[in-house]
Structure 1
Amino acid sequence: MMAGPSATTFHSLRDERFRRLFDDFQSTAYRLETRQSYDVSYEQEEFERFRAGRARGQFPGIASWADRVRAGRRLGKSFTRVHVMEEPLTDYLRFEAAWCYRDTVAAGEDVRVIPIQPGQWPDGIPRLDYWLFDSHRLLLMNYSRHGTFLSAELVNDPERVSDAVRWQQRAWALSVPFNEYAAGFDEFMRRR
């Protein structure tokens, strides 16, 4: 789902204009995640530690996100996220849940999960990652088939934004709170 000519495109997660979107929104930042694996460079060292069963080390990427969530919450802003997760969970999803979501939920992010079985997909939910700010600014997140970030596109088309709001409502209705979901797993997100 590529954006049209009216879109602003970001090719780096470190782009200051991209980062500013997470400070400049007024009240809500919502994320839909649909991939079962992401290839994120700042997570590689911790991901390898997790896969090797070693103790968690410093995790600056998640620490800075948790700080951002806490700061936003103090200003009355809400951060919400729904992740469609296929079971059994991939190593990456186990890592993300155990070493990322637990921290961001503790910081005040409302993370939810739609668990699915292989070959299934929830009705009314696209296979598309995006951020939706204040229910009117849509940021499409584009990844390679291996989960590497390619670009993010800020879309201004009201019809596409309306679609994203509808998908958000549908995903929220189908999801369960992360802590409720995680209660069925051990500390490494393996089913009990």
Structure 2
Amino acid sequence: MAMSDFMKTFDDFRHQVFRLETLDSYDSRSERVPLERFRAGLSQDPSWLCPWAERVRAIRARGALFRRVHVVDEPLSEYLVFEMTCAYPSNAQAGEEIGILSRTAAEKLGVPEEDYWLFDDDRTGVMVYGENGALVHVEVNADPEIVREHVRRREAALANAVPLQRYMAEAGLTPQV
């Protein structure tokens, strides 16, 4: 499924959406300029964050949960520092609950390295990336067995993830926007 078609999925679930991220770096067109500004030590223009923050606010306004866990290698990659300091604070302010889980802990919990979205515990979208972290496509599936496994992984990740604010404080990271 193309990402543009997949984004419509965010308009038709009712109760909750969950995202498991497992890569240390992603190549997203919307992040390229902000990432270069971050690398150059320049301040961020927060306007690039507005479309996603508006989506999160709309989801929360209708009473649905929006949660994410990012599985990370430590020490953090440059991209993950960028994401945690320049993108995630806006997401969190909009109402997204974000947790960070070390890869070591994730492996012990049986949380494999598979990025996915989970909608209402009845549909999942596995994100397939190329070697450079660019999204290739999304594999949407409602197979009960696959969905149950993604629910299990979600519960394990959520139960063991460190909340973003605490993780950032412990890592000495400061929001940049």
TM (norm. structure 2) is: 0.92
The code of the aligned residue for 1:18 comes to: F
Q: Which residue of 2 aligns with 1:44?
A: 32
Q: Secondary structure at the match of 2:107?
A: coil
Secondary structure, aligned partner of 2:102: strand
Q: CA RMSD, aligned part only?
A: 1.6
Q: CA–CA distance in 1 between the matches of 2:78 and 2:47?
A: 17
Quick check: 2:89–2:175 contact (8 Å CA) kept in 1?
A: no
| Correspondence 1:152 to 2:138 | yes
Structure 2 residue aligned with 1:105: 92
Aligned to 1:92: 79
What is the aligned partner in structure 1 of residue 68 from structure 2?
A: 81
Would you identify which runs of 4 or more consecutive aligned residues in structure 1 move more than 4 Å?
none
C-alpha distance in structure 1 between counterparts of 2:88 and 2:158, whole Å: 17
State the identity as a percent. Answer: 39
Aligned counterpart, 2:44: 56
| Long gaps (5+) in structure 1 | 1-9
Tell whether 2:147 aligns with 1:161.
Answer: yes
Is the counterpart of residue 31 in structure 1 residue 19 in structure 2?
Answer: yes
Q: Partner of 2:116 in structure 1?
A: 130
Q: Distance in 2 between matches of 1:37 and 1:76?
A: 31
User: Hey, what does 2:161 align to over in structure 1?
Assistant: 175
Name the CA distance, whole Å, in 1 between partners of 2:56 and 2:25.
23
The one-letter amino acid of 1:68's match is: R
Query: Would the aligned equivalents of 1:73 and 1:108 in 2 still touch at CA under 8 Å?
Result: yes
Residues 12-44 of structure 1: CA deviation (Å, up to 9, x unaligned)? x2x2x3121011110101000000000111110
The structure where helix makes up a greater share of residues is: 2
By how many angstroms is 1:158 displaced? 1.0
Query: How much has 1:161 moved relative to structure 2?
Result: 0.7
Q: Contact 1:140–1:154 (CA<8 Å) still a contact in 2?
A: yes
8 Å CA contact retained: 1:142, 1:150: yes
Distance 1:59 1:88, change over 3 A: farther
CA displacement 1:132-185 (0-9 Å, x = unmatched)? 000111111000122010000111211111110111111111111111111122
Alignment gaps of 5+ in structure 2: none
CA distance in 2 between counterparts of 1:124 and 1:50 reads 34
Match of 1:55, SS? coil
- Shift in Å, 1:49: 0.1
Deviation at 1:78, TM superposition (A): 1.0
**TM-score of the aligned structures, taking structure 1 as reference length:** 0.85
